[in-house]
Structure 1
Amino acid sequence: MGHTRSSNSAALTCEAPPIWSRRPVPELPVADTPALPPVRRVGTTTTLAYGFGAVAYGIKDNGFGTFLLLFYNQVMGLPSAQVGFVVMCALLLDACIDPVIGIASDRTRTRWGRRHPWMYSAAVPIALGWLLLWNPPELSPGWTLAWLFGAAVLVRSAVSAYEVPSQALTPELTADYDERTRITAYRYIFGWAAGLLMLLAAYQIFLVPEPGQANGLLNRDGYTAFGATGAGIMLVAILVSALGTHAEIARLPRQPAPKGGVRTAFAELLAATRNRAFLMLMAAGLFAYTIQGISFSLSNYLYSFVWEFETATFGLLAGVLFVGVVLAFLGAPALAKRIGKPRAAALLIATAGTLQALPFVLRLAGWFPAPGEAAMVPILFGIYIVNTAASIGTAILGASMMADVVEHSEVDTGRRSEGVFFAGAFFVQKATGGVGIFVSGLILAAAGFPENATPGAVPAATLDWLTILFAGTYFALAITAAWLFLRFPFGPAEHRARIERLARAG
């Protein structure tokens, strides 16, 4: 593929062969590699391997967001508000670990670079934690909540040890404004494809009705198989991604060995996080990822109890959502190239908020087809496709904008802090994911939603309050996120000028 070289890129724009065709990467002096990544199109092998690693995060995110509250509430019999609170506490604690991992990754110096030692070491703990999460032993309610807390912290901390360094590779692989969006889109399509395939497998293979259990979503043995399958796939995905990007280590930007100890490291963290662009993205992400957490946590409640989906409909759902993923993969980079990343992200998240609320508003007004009517499912699926595309497109652009923040900060601080910035982004995702589950528990409690509920037997007033609280919260948070995205302080012209300035200085 053709590549555009930056003024200090040297021979860094050709795609390296995969690790299995090369000897171990030798330790290179700092002078042999640039301090700034090249402005280039990343090769196909590296792009696919890099994107494939997000399979692990997709499976984890789908399980946490879609099934965790349901499993511990409806299957294990714990109150929804308590489950939501415990998960929120676990994720908030775990989120505090992310900046530490970001700092440590930025300051790591090995012959395997700054990122890959972390990526390799996270594979087994993630798989083990995932198995434990879906297999709580027979304990009292209090100890079951404690098990949930410990397993959730283990899984999310191990995921951080992989995801923060892995995502930090985005601004290291290329300095090109639009190419960063393209390779980020690959991460999202792999992650969402894996999550949706596990969703399909859950609905069609693992969580299916059995004798004595008419509701497959309450099949405890199915969750055991769901956890074991996910653990195996996550392990493979992480190792394949680390191996497939290993050959890039020799060409990644090298930084001088860090000076100072823990106090210096945290002083650098505080300096980096004062960056205005970073703070604006964190604020927008706070609202965008909270609504994602709420939507995921309540999705099965809405599908089963409000819309009364049948088993066959659940089977179609994963394919429908994947159409939205593909639209985001194709459309988000194109839209950002046309109108810029901040405006594109604002437009997409506002669209997502409007579409998510629309069917519930129409239902309350009596203008939406009722469960069982032929038109209901096709109309919902059409809305879900566009809503999914808008939501994922927003996430793709947010991650790409975070990569651009690296050079924005470097101009002020003289340091590249990829790990710190992506740790901050991951902190927001985790913290708001926990907040989303907690808010979902509060919504269920406020609506008076019963435990061990049966579809078709929940009072209409309860379902009305559930939809009012869900749709109103989602729309308000989405519009707030759109407003914040519009205040991101720079676009493509400023970024390219900054890259040229850094290249001349280097």
Structure 2
Amino acid sequence: MTEKRDSATISTGEKLAYGVGDMALNIAYGSIGFYMLWFMVNAGGLSPARAGLIFMIARFWDAVTDYLMGLVSDKTRSRWGRRRPYILFGAVPLGFSFAALWQIPPGSDALRFAYYLVAFILFNSAYTVVAVPYSSLMAEMTQDYDERTSLSGFRMGSSFLGTLIGAAGVTLVVDILFGSLPRSRSWPLMGAAFGAAIVLILAITGFGTRERVSGGKPVFAGFVKTLSDFFRLREFRIVLGMFLFNMIGFDVIMATFFFFLTDVVEVSGDPTLFMALPLVVAVFASPLWIQASRRLGKKTAYIVSALYFAAVMLFCLWISPGNEAAVLAICVLSGIGISASQIIPWSILPDVIEIDEFHNGVRREGAFFGISTFLYKLASAAAIGATGIVLQVFGYVEASADESVAAAGRVVQSASAVSAVRLLIGLLPGVCFLASALFVHRFPLTRDRFKSMLEELDRRRIAAVQGTEGE
């Protein structure tokens, strides 16, 4: 079977159907990223180090399964395509496993540790079944350089909405909608409601998209050989460095933001506004960065955004307790940076697939995204695990899992624990964004070079077809 290329314009309806898939994934990702570490420490009663260890083990498992899932989806042949069956049939297990994460089991610390570890591993397995094919889907919907940027914009706009639901919706449901209930009921109810929403939204993506770019039988050279092939590509090494540092910086912000609100700034009342505002701003800032990428190029636009984002996060080092006006200002300014950090890298990543095909003669979207997310999750596992360890080393004290004990009052953290939270959210992400900007500065691919490369790939395809016909 010869490869068919299709750079036709994609309808707005299909772009929306594709984009909302990331809304579903980021309802889960946002809820877990912003609350899970805090939830296990301050509702589940685990120490920060144990909670961080759960993140680390589960993410390591997630990293391994990502690559395997990429290979499985590359091998798949069905009337629905290679990627869409996993989005459709993986949705229900993903919804159920998400709901299981937010239970508060009775028993000893060891029992709760085991429960959250198993629940997290099961969730990550289900997430991988859906997320890796979804990430690969864009490259098979179109090969047009600007259409991919547009698709990325729809995807990331929906991603921000999903993360917004995860970030602000959790406190809205737990503290307001079910605020009269004990947390042993309010958190599980939130998990069930969000799990059902995840299933329904993914059905829209599965039924509403189309895979246009099809290839011949994929070539599988094994993990080590495939990884070696990718690392021989200078562009892959550069894009990987950009992607890893960018995502780790964002992950650390997510993991520490609720700690920052509750233990450093000590916001009064419901924190929903503070959780929602950065992501609302990020949604409205999305067109700004799409336009900037078109005018300046993806590379320049990303460097500007990374420097800006790093500078904004530094202000978290000095905001005094109770200064909620300053926190609101940081929320607005950081939302602009969040928008760029999620749109531009995800529009650059798929371009490496054609670079790989150009140099190595094979097309392997699933393997590429599987390896990319494999390496990212290894790095993220270490970063979030280290975050929990740092909090414990600096004296952060977990709340009791016993509701009657926890109701006696919020734990007041030591000055060293508060300083640790400040450094984790104010300094570490900025260092990551600066490193990411240094990588992308060296990225050699431009719009014109990408277009020339596609034209050469088309010439090779035509020559291969003519050669086959000549036989």
Q: TM-score, normalised by structure 1?
A: 0.83
What's the offset of the Cα at 1:400?
1.0
Report the Cα distance in structure 1 between the residues aligned to 2:262 and 2:145, rounded to whole angstroms.
42
Structure 1 residue aligned with 2:344, among 397, 412, 434?
397
Report the Cα distance in structure 1 between the residues aligned to 2:223 and 2:37, rounded to whole angstroms.
37
1:124 aligns with 2:92: yes
Change (3 A) 1:438 1:114: same
Q: Percent identity?
A: 24
1:501 aligns with 2:456: yes
Change (3 A) 1:429 1:136: farther
Structure 2 residue aligned with 1:280, among 238, 254, 259?
238
Q: Which residue of 2 aligns with 1:477?
A: 432
Change (3 A) 1:264 1:326: closer
Q: Deviations over 1:281-309 (max 9, x none)?
A: 22222222222221111111100111111
1:289 aligns with 2:257: no
Change (3 A) 1:46 1:177: same
Report the Cα distance in structure 2 between the residues aligned to 1:399 and 1:210, rounded to whole angstroms.
37
Q: Which residue of 2 aligns with 1:69?
A: 37
Q: Deviations over 1:195-246 (max 9, x none)?
A: 2123333222313595797xxxxx332211111011101111111110111x
Report the Cα distance in structure 1 between the residues aligned to 2:254 and 2:223, rounded to whole angstroms.
36
Give the partner amino acid of 2:429. Answer: Y
Report the Cα distance in structure 1 between the residues aligned to 2:37 and 2:195, rounded to whole angstroms.
19
Q: Which residue of 1 aligns with 2:332?
A: 385
Q: Deviations over 1:420-439 (max 9, x none)?
A: 22223322443343233212
Report the Cα distance in structure 2 between the residues aligned to 1:223 and 1:210, rounded to whole angstroms.
10
Query: 1:207-356 residue pairs with structure 2 within 5 A?
Result: 207-208=175-176, 219-245=183-209, 248-249=210-211, 252-258=212-218, 267-268=225-226, 270-312=228-270, 314-356=271-313
Q: Does the 8 Å contact 2:235/2:443 carry over to 1?
A: yes
What's the offset of the Cα at 1:498?
0.7
Report the Cα distance in structure 1 between the residues aligned to 2:180 and 2:365, rounded to whole angstroms.
52
Q: Which residue of 2 aligns with 1:43?
A: 11
Q: Which residue of 1 aligns with 2:464?
A: none
Give the partner amino acid of 1:344. Answer: A
Deviates more, 1:199-208 or 1:234-243: 199-208
Q: Give structure 1 stretches of 5+ with no counterpart.
A: 1-29, 214-218
Give the partner amino acid of 2:77. Answer: R
Change (3 A) 1:501 1:124: same
Change (3 A) 1:211 1:181: closer
Structure 1 residue aligned with 2:421, among 461, 466, 473?
466
Report the Cα distance in structure 1 between the residues aligned to 2:306 and 2:343, rounded to whole angstroms.
11
Secondary structure, counterpart of 1:169 in structure 2:
helix
Deviates more, 1:45-54 or 1:409-418: 409-418
Report the Cα distance in structure 2 between the residues aligned to 1:258 and 1:61, rounded to whole angstroms.
30
Change (3 A) 1:109 1:274: farther
Q: Give structure 2 stretches of 5+ with no counterpart.
A: 400-405, 462-471
Q: Which residue of 2 aligns with 1:433?
A: 380
Q: Deviations over 1:350-384 (max 9, x none)?
A: 22121111231xx2xxxx5x444xxx333322322
Query: 1:129-144 residue pairs with structure 2 within 5 A?
Result: 129-144=97-112
Query: 1:178-189 residue pairs with structure 2 within 5 A?
Result: 178-189=146-157
Q: Does the 8 Å contact 1:207/1:223 carry over to 2?
A: no
Query: 1:17-32 residue pairs with structure 2 within 5 A?
Result: 30=1
Q: Deviations over 1:95-130 (max 9, x none)?
A: 111111112212222222211122222111101211
Query: 1:82-101 residue pairs with structure 2 within 5 A?
Result: 82-101=50-69
Report the Cα distance in structure 1 between the residues aligned to 2:72 and 2:180, rounded to whole angstroms.
52
Report the Cα distance in structure 2 between the residues aligned to 1:159 and 1:176, rounded to whole angstroms.
28
Deviates more, 1:463-472 or 1:343-352: 463-472
Query: 1:141-160 residue pairs with structure 2 within 5 A?
Result: 141-160=109-128
Secondary structure, counterpart of 1:118 in structure 2:
helix
Q: Does the 8 Å contact 2:66/2:374 carry over to 1?
A: yes
Q: Does the 8 Å contact 1:203/1:311 carry over to 2?
A: no
Q: Does the 8 Å contact 2:69/2:128 carry over to 1?
A: yes
Report the Cα distance in structure 1 between the residues aligned to 2:223 and 2:378, rounded to whole angstroms.
23
Query: 1:165-180 residue pairs with structure 2 within 5 A?
Result: 165-180=133-148
Report the Cα distance in structure 1 between the residues aligned to 2:18 and 2:444, rounded to whole angstroms.
28
Give the partner amino acid of 1:35. Answer: K
What's the offset of the Cα at 1:471?
2.3
